[in-house]
């Protein structure tokens, strides 16, 4: 049977010719979801040119009318809901319930920003002068390059596309090569909803080759990137040379602090959820559990027992809780960290190996892994691993837990498990991270609030909620004598 070919989308047309790359199912590498056309620097140039040509008309369209196109796309996505979720599991590996949650989130994001079309408030302030009226209106920035990772292959493109479009920008989207289909479906929905040609462009292909072309394309005025620190830092240098507006959301080394007074059972569940769900491949995943001395041994024992019971497998199967790693490079990188962890902290208390035998041999499955007695200078306490690996660390008391939680270069998300309200407020004040949870897992954020980190995790304005409008629009200030 011939495989479907998914073309690039440039100036309102699907370009389905040229060399391709495969989109494989990480739970079963014999299963290929489709072939994607490998874009080139010339495609990027054409897409940026089309976006520039489409800009004046799109920017001049009333924002509620732009919103109406997003509403139409929502209807299309709703009608395909189950297919989109199944495809996401097939290309990325997350479990079907996780994929359903992500498709729902993308739809909700589109709805939230579609409604912004009727708001997009500017500013009004009284002038110091008589008979002078002053106000500021929002204007688009221009052509925006969107570069997205594979771990939320629909939600991240959605939370960049929707605010960019509602503000009147035109875009070139480059999705991750490991999972390009979910973003392709969003673009397909926008196409079917009647978005004018050139407003949205989609180019799949290797980031190394396309990234430079995107940041260097003369019509591009802004770049929104989510991915690794290494790539983000490189993009930042290139974008700075052209004085482009840039937003970077990158890695994390997120801590969950467990205090002695926590609700014990829910603390265990929250750490397991934060560390292992989505196979630990969330930027907001818990990668360190920092546990107060008095509850450390009991907590570690319960955590290990719960981790042993996690069901790892093909995410399309009912009852599976943890899917595979996304590809061979990712599982190898995580296995390398596990070896480092063995040398630093000794044998993991659970996991620490690739699962094999039967259906496991077809995919990239790892046993969820817990290292105990990890100390702050160890590599596994400092570097992002981005897989189902948790470092458990002992804290003398609350102050020591806060010190340990902040002793990394990252500052994306954090969590605390406690029933002490004073500790909660101290943690909110002192924790160096952009996303804080209390008595919840460190992951699991919502679209209507600002999203992003501090320190090495992020750069530039926050994403999502009203905050996204600050990145995707500019103010034009008017002084008017009447």
Residue 351 binds ligand NAP, judged by CB under 6 A:
no
Residues 6+ apart with CB under 8 A from 181: 6, 23, 33, 34, 36, 87, 88, 91, 153
**Which entry of 167, 229, 283, 325 is annotated as an active-site residue?**
283
Task: Read off the tokens for 470.
Answer: 């600050």
22 is catalytic: no
CB of 209: closest distance to ligand NAP in angstroms? Answer: 8
Size of the site for ligand NAP (CB under 6 A): 29
CB of 156: closest distance to ligand NAP in angstroms? Answer: 6
Question: Which residue in the set 68, 228, 420, 466 belongs to the binding site for ligand NAP (CB under 6 A)?
Answer: 228
344 is catalytic: no
Contact 90, 82 (CB under 8 A): no
Residue 283 binds ligand NAP, judged by CB under 6 A:
yes
CB of 400: closest distance to ligand NAP in angstroms? Answer: 26
Helix (H) or strand (E) holding 6: strand 5-6
Residue 140 binds ligand NAP, judged by CB under 6 A:
no
Residue 434 binds ligand NAP, judged by CB under 6 A:
no
Question: Which residue in the set 104, 197, 234, 354 belongs to the binding site for ligand NAP (CB under 6 A)?
Answer: 234
Which stretch, 57-65, 114-122, 206-214, 260-268, contacts ligand NAP (CB under 6 A)? 206-214
Within a 10 A sphere around the Cβ of 79, how many other Cβ atoms?
A: 11
Q: Which is nearer to ligand NAP, 112 or 159 (CB)?
A: 159
Rg (CA), the chain: 23
CB of 269: closest distance to ligand NAP in angstroms? Answer: 23
Helix (H) or strand (E) holding 370: strand 369-371
Closest alpha carbon to 179 in 217, 213, 148: 148
Question: Which residue in the set 177, 273, 316, 442 belongs to the binding site for ligand NAP (CB under 6 A)?
Answer: 177
Residue 211 binds ligand NAP, judged by CB under 6 A:
yes
**How far from 402 is each of 47, 141, 159, 292, CA to CA, in Å?**
47, 40, 31, 11
Task: Read off the tokens for 215.
Answer: 């940041």
CB of 305: closest distance to ligand NAP in angstroms? Answer: 28
- Mark 360-399 with x for binding to ligand NAP (rule: CB under 6 A) and - for no binding: ------------------------x-x-------------
Which stretch, 35-43, 107-115, 200-208, 357-365, contacts ligand NAP (CB under 6 A)? 200-208
Residue 249 binds ligand NAP, judged by CB under 6 A:
yes
Question: Which residue in the set 27, 54, 231, 391 belongs to the binding site for ligand NAP (CB under 6 A)?
Answer: 231
Alpha-carbon dihedral angle through residues 194, 474, 459, 437, given to the nearest 10 degrees: -70
Residue 208 binds ligand NAP, judged by CB under 6 A:
yes
Q: Which is nearer to ligand NAP, 238 or 373 (CB)?
A: 238
Cα–Cα dist 324/314, whole Å = 7
- Burial of residue 203 (CB within 10 Å: 0-12, 13-18, 19+) is buried
Residue 148 binds ligand NAP, judged by CB under 6 A:
yes
Which stretch, 6-14, 222-230, 265-273, 401-409, contacts ligand NAP (CB under 6 A)? 222-230
Question: Which residue in the set 36, 113, 150, 364 belongs to the binding site for ligand NAP (CB under 6 A)?
Answer: 150
Residue 207 binds ligand NAP, judged by CB under 6 A:
yes
Residues 6+ apart with CB under 8 A from 384: 229, 251, 252, 253, 287, 410
Residue 416 binds ligand NAP, judged by CB under 6 A:
no
Residues 6+ apart with CB under 8 A from 342: 348, 352
At 367, phi and psi to the nearest 5? -75, 130
Question: Which residue in the set 235, 258, 380, 401 belongs to the binding site for ligand NAP (CB under 6 A)?
Answer: 235
Q: Which is nearer to ligand NAP, 227 or 352 (CB)?
A: 227
Residue 206 binds ligand NAP, judged by CB under 6 A:
yes
Contact 98, 316 (CB under 8 A): no
**How far from 376 is each of 380, 384, 436, CA to CA, in Å?**
9, 14, 21
**Which entry of 249, 292, 384, 463 is annotated as an active-site residue?**
249
Contact 66, 214 (CB under 8 A): no
Residues 6+ apart with CB under 8 A from 311: 319, 320, 321, 322
Residues noted as catalytic: 249, 283
Give contact residues for ligand NAP (rule: CB under 6 A): 147-152, 174, 176-178, 206-208, 211, 226-228, 231, 234-235, 249-252, 283, 384, 386, 412, 457
């Amino acid at each position: 049977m011939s495989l479907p070919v998914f073309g690039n989308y440039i100036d309102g047309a699907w370009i389905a010719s040229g060399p391709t790359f495969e989109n494989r199912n990480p739970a079963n590498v014999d299963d290929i979801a489709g072939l994607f056309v490998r874009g080139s620097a010339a495609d990027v140039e054409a897409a940026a040119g089309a976006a520039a040509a489409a800009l004046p008309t799109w920017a001049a369209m009333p924002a509620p009318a732009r919103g109406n196109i997003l509403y139409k796309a929502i209807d299309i996505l709703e009608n395909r809901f189950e297919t989109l979720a199944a495809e996401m599991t097939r290309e990325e590996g997350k479990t079907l319930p996780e994929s359903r949650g992500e498709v729902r989130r993308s739809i909700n994001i589109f709805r939230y920003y579609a409604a912004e079309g009727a708001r997009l408030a500017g500013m009004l302030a009284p002038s110091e002068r008589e008979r002078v009226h002053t106000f500021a209106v929002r204007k688009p920035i221009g052509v925006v390059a969107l570069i997205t990772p594979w771990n939320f292959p629909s939600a991240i493109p959605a939370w960049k596309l929707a605010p960019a479009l509602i503000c009147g920008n035109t875009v070139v989207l480059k999705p991750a090569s490991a999972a390009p289909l979910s973003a392709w479906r969003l673009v397909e929905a926008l196409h079917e909803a009647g978005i004018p040609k050139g407003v949205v462009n989609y180019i799949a292909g290797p980031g190394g080759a396309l990234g430079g072309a995107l940041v260097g394309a003369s019509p591009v005025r802004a770049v929104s990137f989510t991915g690794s620190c290494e790539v983000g830092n490189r993009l930042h240098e290139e974008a700075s040379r052209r004085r482009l507006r840039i937003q970077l959301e990158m890695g994390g080394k997120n801590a969950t602090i467990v205090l002695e007074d926590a609700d014990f059972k829910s603390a265990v569940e929250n750490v397991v959820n934060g560390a292992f769900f989505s196979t630990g491949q969330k930027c907001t995943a818990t990668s360190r559990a920092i546990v107060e001395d008095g509850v450390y041994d009991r907590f570690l024992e319960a955590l290990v027992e719960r981790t042993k019971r996690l069901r790892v497998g093909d995410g399309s199967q009912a009852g599976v809780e943890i899917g595979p790693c996304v590809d061979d490079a990712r599982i190898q990188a995580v296995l390398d960290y596990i070896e480092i962890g063995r040398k630093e902290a000794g044998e993991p208390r659970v996991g620490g190996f690739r699962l094999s035998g039967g259906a496991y041999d077809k995919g990239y499955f790892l046993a969820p892994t817990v290292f105990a007695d990890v100390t702050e200078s160890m590599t596994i306490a400092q570097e992002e691993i981005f897989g189902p690996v948790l470092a458990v660390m002992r804290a003398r008391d609350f102050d020591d837990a806060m010190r340990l939680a902040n002793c990394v270069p990252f500052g994306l998300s954090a969590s605390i498990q406690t029933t002490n309200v004073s500790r909660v407020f101290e943690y909110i004040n002192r924790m160096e991270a952009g996303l804080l949870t209390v008595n919840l897992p460190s992951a699991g954020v919502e679209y209507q609030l600002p999203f992003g980190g501090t320190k090495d995790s992020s750069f530039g304005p926050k994403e999502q909620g009203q905050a996204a409008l600050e990145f995707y629009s500019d103010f034009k200030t008017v002084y008017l004598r009447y």
